[in-house]
Amino acid sequence: MRTVYDVQQLLKKFGTFIYIGDRLAELELMEQEIQELYQSQCMTQDDYQMAILILRSEITVLTDKQKGRLRK
């Protein structure tokens, strides 16, 4: 797993499709779904850790971009 797309494909295996139209909200919702799946013991610790790392990294990138736009 390397990208947000890979995380989406993982969620898809569990029947979870997330599309809201707001990228940041989608990423946060994906993170919550991943946490619930892990707590339910539906995924391995390695998959959980990698998925959370990818999502939080992307969330950070998006929030930094949004902050940059607000400053200009």
- Please report the pLDDT score of residue 72 as a whole number: 55
CB-side neighbour CA atoms (13 Å) of 14: 16
Give residue 69's pLDDT: 74
pLDDT digits 0-9 by tens, 21-50: 999 999 999 999 999 999 999 999 999 999
pLDDT digits (tens, 9 = 90+) for 55-65: 999 999 999 99
Domain limits, the chain: 4-60
Average predicted confidence (pLDDT) for the chain: 94
Cα gap 32→30, rounded to integer Å? 5
Write down the pLDDT at residue 71.
65
Does the domain formed by 4-60 have CATH 1.10.287.760? yes
- pTM of the prediction? 0.91
